[in-house]
Homo-oligomer: A and B are copies of this chain.
């Protein structure tokens, strides 16, 4: 048992570091995010050419046949550079969902074009429903369905008709929706069953409302469908199989997102060390003040702990664990990484002093990413409450480690 990187894994990290240092500088990030739609398509092409879009997909699906650990290592470096590509939404989230569905010709086709980078995907995976959560908490009942099923995301309706399905609905704040070629959207039938649809971005009756970009490097849009006609094959999954895949994808996505947050925290520490070393106040480098040193050391602790949690969670995820075990580790990664990213980005601004408050200096770019990421796929409090259900309400879980 160990969580140190293997030589192959270290190689992946080293090559990603070298590649992104030139291909996704913060200067390029500012160009992509301050002008245009926040996507650096040249970068996406290069990334796709290296096979990153299929890093965790099986080789027969066009992927590299590696695991979530390797995906997390890439996500960490992409987060560190705020790379302006929809890697998280398309590769980490959409591909994880598609892979978790029962196999079909449609999912295989989508995975193939996703792995090659030919198509970008987006998933309308809404926030978990807070009311549901706390109701479970107050009644203190073990709530086996505490993880919101796909249905919680769907305020949308699907009606079967002769040509297939007629879809209408509204999905708020869908990550990278404005970039996606295909949108994965859940919707209900009249009987209340939940179905998942693949909708082409150019479908008639589909409209997007881009949101004001708090983090211009990672945008989202409200999605609205009005009587969109889809073929029967557009329905990818339904029922319990969909629910299970949805829960699993949320956990896998959470671990990948946490990896990105580790990268954000690392970047903030790096920026702060560089700035405080050269900034002189009261006749000495401010890096020599104990208050500054202690804050940087606390950033280091948060960062390294988060990194350990993310690597551990990703390694567990690669062992095909039970849903409850996966949830526990996803929650752990989210908690540690969210804390690290928020702490480090806030301190980076504070320790840059007045400069940290200027548009010109970079810390605020990371603060924005850290705040947005802290809410994606549910806030830490939601994840912790799910863990509390396991810890306090249910019979003791078979221990993750024998």
Contact = CB atoms under 8 A, between A and B. Distances in A.
Interface stretch (A94-102, A132-140, A261-269): A132-140
Contact of A294 (B137, B138, B291): B291
A290 B289 CA distance: 7
A141 to B, nearest CB: 12
Nearest to A140: B131
A289 B291 CA distance: 9
Contacts of A139: 138
Contacts of A289: 290
Interface in A273-295: 289-291, 294
Interface in A116-154: 134-135, 137-139
Contacts of A135: 138
A384 to B, nearest CB: 16
Contact of A291 (B134, B137, B138, B291): B291
Chain B CB count within 10 A is highest, among A137, A289, A290, for A290
Contacts of A138: 134-135, 137-139
Contacts of A290: 289-291
Interface of A: 134-135, 137-139, 289-291, 294
Given A137-B138, A138-B139, A291-B291, 8 more contacts: A134-B137, A134-B138, A135-B138, A138-B138, A289-B290, A290-B290, A290-B291, A291-B294
